[in-house]
Amino acid sequence: LPPQPPPAPLEAKMSTPRSLAAQRKETLANLITATTFIDIILRNALEASENPTTVALTAALDKLLCLHGNLFRLGMFIGLLQFAGILVFHEPTDTLHRALLFVLFLGFLFAMFNIILSFIAMEYFNGIKHEDPEFVIVGVLKYKYWFLASDNFLYLAFLLFVLAANLLAHSALPITLSSILHVVSALGSVVLIFAHKTIIIDRQIYVDSSSGMRFER
């Protein structure tokens, strides 16, 4: 018999599947190009696993489910408050109270939009939990702006609720006190919107003052 070649070392045998897993991971990561919190959650799930599998993305979907569950409950709470205001002021007596009723109605609608979108998102995330990673990532990214709209509707509902409270204060308090409330509400709303944009929406770039190292996400 001709001499047989020596068996390949164990490292060589294991290199091929490991390379395929790394290549698949890189391919999936290249699909995620934006910096929304949905993209970041998916990217972190990929980076935390050596081999991208359905189980690896289940944690990301669970986080998104938890997030939209909180949005659903918060939208329900603010919607109930606005509906209570509608019941109280359903027979306006002057122009100011008509404006108040309109703002409450509009805020209630935005809260309902948030609830419906959050419900749709939770149903979708539960439905794709056991699909292939490629299907999960492409599907979530395809509809991510619908999912992000749930946040926006909730913010609009809160801002309209604050506006309704200011209209009520304007009719019930002396002009000096109501003006103070208007200024505090306006400044607080601007600061919170800026904080949301800076912390959640904008690309995160940190520089360590001691070492000069730069971190980006």
Strands (E), the chain: 205-207, 214-216
Check residue 15 and give its pLDDT.
Answer: 46
Q: Give the model's confidence band at 199: pLDDT under 50 very low, under 70 low, under 90 confident, else very high.
A: confident
Check residue 36 and give its pLDDT.
Answer: 77
- Per residue in 181-198, pLDDT (tens digit) is 889 989 988 898 888 778
Query: Which structure tokens are listed for 214?
Result: 């730069």
Q: Are residues 45 and 60 in contact, defined by beta-carbon separation less than 8 angstroms? A: yes
Alpha helices in 128-143, H assignment, sequence order: 133-142
Q: What is the largest CA-CA distance in the chain?
A: 107
Q: Is the model's pLDDT at 4 over the cut of 70?
A: no
Check residue 112 and give its pLDDT.
Answer: 94
- Per residue in 7-45, pLDDT (tens digit) is 555 444 444 455 665 666 666 666 677 677 788 888 877
Rounded (10°) CA dihedral 44, 47, 52, 57: -10
- Per residue in 71-124, pLDDT (tens digit) is 999 999 999 999 998 888 878 778 888 888 999 999 999 999 999 999 999 999
- Per residue in 162-184, pLDDT (tens digit) is 999 898 888 888 888 888 888 99
Check residue 73 and give its pLDDT.
Answer: 94
Check residue 9 and give its pLDDT.
Answer: 55
Check residue 30 and give its pLDDT.
Answer: 64
